[in-house]
Each structure stands twice: as structure tokens, then as C-alpha cells.
Chains A and B, each alone.
Chain A
Amino acid sequence: MGYEWQFAIILEYWPIFARGAITTLQITLLSSAIGLFIGLLVGVSRESSGIFIRSVTSVYVEMIRATPALVQIVWLYYCFPIIFGYQLSAMTSIIIALGIHSGAYVSEIVRAGINAVDTGQFLAAKSIGMNHFTALRRIILPQAGQKMIPPLINEFANLMKLTTLGSMIAVYELLQESNNLIATTYRPLEVYTFLAIFFFIITYPWIWLSQRLERRLKMRA
């Protein structure tokens, strides 16, 4: 098969990739921040609080984990405006949808982190009269935090890849920009191959870092 690769085309259109990469990065960072915020709140609530908060947060986590991220995104973009009468922009939709999506996974990471802390720590904190919230903030979470970092970095890398779902609602992230480029250049092989390599380059370092930190934590334990 004598296909003639013409990667020069990538160089020629580099500003388009740069633009897409910036959008991808924005989505990743903002949805990570939302996911971290939701995940911390939900993770902590699922470990404590009353039965009401526990069940509400459980329903959230299970619903998100049992539905595809893509369905969550299109639902927020197409159905939410019809039901609630407020149209979010495509960019806002994907950021919020991925934030809510990742929040469920982050909350499980937080919960696992809290559970991994020796129960004696809770007893010691209580024995000096600390309330539950202070014990979490001062004693438990700082110790759980260390254990949570590798899986959180991994989750960040996951989000980076999930941003491509934005192309389904016409968010101009990397995949959408690539599709448009292909429509004008008719060079899908070069563009998609470059896209795959590009994602590997921006995602793999995080996965590597996460594995490394996890190994180091294991060795210290």
C-alpha cells in the first residue's frame, strides 16, 4: 500500500492545533477543579453525616458511574435547557458535565483515602475532644491526601482524554479542530495520527507520574 504521508500539513496548520490544545487544556483544568471540589465534599459526606446526605450522595455517585460520560454531556447540553429553560454554551456544558462526572470518581478516591487511614487516628482525635469536622480537616485528610494523590493524577489524565467528547456538541477542542481540518485538507491519516501522538504526549507523563508516586508511597509504607 503506497500511501504518501504528508506530515508537512500538520506544520502548516499548527495554529489550529495550538488553538484546540488550549481549549482542551481549559476544559481539563476547569472540570478537574469542579470535580475536585464536588469529590471532596461528596467523599467526606459519604463517610460521615446523617443518613439523608449519605443516601443523596450515594445516588449521585452511582448514577454517574453507571451512565456514559457522553450521555451526561449531551443530556446537559440538549435536555437541561428544555427542562429548566436555561441554555448553557457548549463550552460551559462540557466543563460542568465533565466536572460532575469526575466528581463521582474523585469522591470514591477521597473515600478510599479516608478509609485507608488507621482508625486509631480517629480515636486519638476524638479522645482529645476534637469534633468530627476538625478531626477530618486536621488529622485524617492530611494523611489521606498523600494516598489520594496518585489516583487523583490518574483521574486528571482520564479527564484530559474525555475532553474529546466535546466534539459531539461542537466544542472546538483538539478533536473538533482536527475534524474541521480534515474537511478542508482531506488528510485524515496524518491528522488523526498526529492527534493520537499528541494526546499520548500530553497524557502519558501524568500516568507515569501517578505510577511513580504510588510505587514510592508503597515503598515508604
Chain B
Amino acid sequence: MLRITNLGKSYGSARVLSGIDLDVQAHDVVAIIGPSGSGKSTLLKCINFLERYDEGEVRFGDELVGYVEADGQRRLATERQTNRLRAEMGMVFQNFNLFPHMTTLQNVIEGPIQVKGVARDEAVRHAEQLLAKVGLADKRDVRPTKLSGGQQQRAAIARALAMRPRLMLFDEPTSALDPELVGEVLTAMRELAAEGMTMVIVTHEMSFARDVASRVVFMEGGRIVEEGPPGKIFTNPDNARTRAFLARVLH
């Protein structure tokens, strides 16, 4: 479903990603772990082209993300082309980024109505189902600022799901939360994974990665150091750097 090949990105002379290869199949749950500054979040944002990559390619389905190719040359895709792909990938941010001037329900129906042209009634019906699913049915008419961090993040998940995405991207979804609120967000994500949603998750929650991920990717210094099933990565990693990182975060 998602194929990343030899992806590279630099900010000026600083290289933030190099030689990234990653395949994500339908219903995969891929957890990306690694120290901060390792390029995890940048990689995630390259997938829906919120960050522009300079080398290699990201293919979603069969389509190249962010660029079009003609006669061996490639140029930037139009905004419309990129947006069409983005609409099929949901993204959840560390800082929620809910729209503060709208109610929870309005946040959720905004994308379907404005981007996909869904009829309002239908968008509201779907939004109500999603809010019920993440346990926020009673918060539909409340502004995000009145919600706890955990509730905001669940609302953000509902907003992303409202677009009926084929792939969900999570950028450290629990890092900005108080510890006691992390659980409710992870529960919502766990349910999503159980339903078969394809997910790529940048996370520091090692136990969540171990329980829920079908594959774990360890990144350091803008490269993928090691990847494999969680059972292997967390108990018997091949690479010494993976071992050193896990020793640091697990103990």
C-alpha cells in the first residue's frame, strides 16, 4: 500500500533522512521508534508530503507522492494532486492541532464537507458515529479548548477518520499528554488497529509498540537501523545500537 524507496532529505547541508526503504502492506501497524532527532517525525511527514523529500520516492498505492514524472524528469505535483492523496491518509499530530474556533463536531465534519463535498447530514451522521467510537459523543458541541488533552487527541483521531482514510499516520500522539491521559488515546488506537486499519505510528510508548505493532522500525541518525517483528526487536535485536537504545528507554 505504501512503498518508500531510498528516501532522502536535507535541510541545507544538514542531512535528516538518508536511504530510507520501507514497505507497508494493508493492515500493517508499523511503529517507528528511536531517539529524538533521529528523523522519525520528518519521515512520517514526508509520507503525506507535509515535508518535501529531495531524493527517492514515496508511493501510495501506485502513485508517487508529491511529484509527477515525465520523460525521466520529475517536478513538483500540483496542489490538487497532492491534496487528493493527502485526503486518503489521516494524520494525528503530537499537539492535536484541532481547529479552536469550531466545536468538536465541526472539526470532524470540516474535511468531509469542504474537501470531499459530502452532504452535511451524511457528514454529521458519520461524525457522530466516530465521536461515539472514541467516547466523545457527549462532547460534540464543545470547543476543543474545553477538552482534556486525551479528549482532544481522540477528537483529532475522529477528525482524521472522518475522511475515511486508507492509511493513518500518528506523529507521537501521546507525547504531549499527561501520563494519566495516555491510556485512553492508546485504547482508541488499539481498537483502530484491531479493526484492520493500516497505521504508521511514531511513538515513544514501547509497550504499546510491542503489543500492537505488527512491525517495529528503529531509526537513528536519519537512517533505519533495524526493522522486524516486535517480538524480535524488543527481545533479541540484531543491531548493537538498537540494543543500546532499548536498554536506555526500557530501564
Contacts and interface: CB of A to CB of B under 8 A. Distances in A.
A128 B160 contact: yes
A123 interface: yes
A139 interface: yes
B93 A142 contact: no
A127 B107 CA distance: 13
A87 interface: no
Tier of interface size on chain B = 20 to 34
Interface in B68-105: 79-80, 83-84, 86-91, 93, 95, 97-101
Given A128-B86, A128-B160, A120 B91 contact: no
Nearest to B80: A131
A120 B41 CA distance: 14
Nearest to B84: A129
B115 A124 contact: no
A81 to B, nearest CB: 43
Contacts of A134: 114-115
Given A131-B79, A132-B79, A124 B97 contact: yes
B223 interface: no
A138 B86 CA distance: 18
B160 A127 contact: yes
A123 B79 contact: no
Interface residues of A, number: 17
Interface in A109-127: 118, 120-121, 123-124, 126-127
Nearest to B107: A124
Given A129-B87, A131-B80, A123 B50 contact: yes
Contacts of A138: 110, 114
A132 B82 CA distance: 12
A64 interface: no
21 contacts: A118-B97, A121-B99, A123-B93, A123-B97, A124-B91, A124-B156, A126-B83, A127-B48, A127-B50, A127-B89, A127-B90, A127-B91, A128-B87, A128-B110, A128-B111, A128-B159, A128-B163, A129-B87, A129-B116, A138-B110, A138-B114
Interface of A: 118, 120-121, 123-124, 126-132, 134, 138-139, 142-143
Chain A to chain B: the 9 pairs with minimum beta-carbon distance, closest first: A129-B87, A128-B111, A124-B97, A120-B97, A127-B91, A129-B86, A129-B83, A129-B115, A142-B101
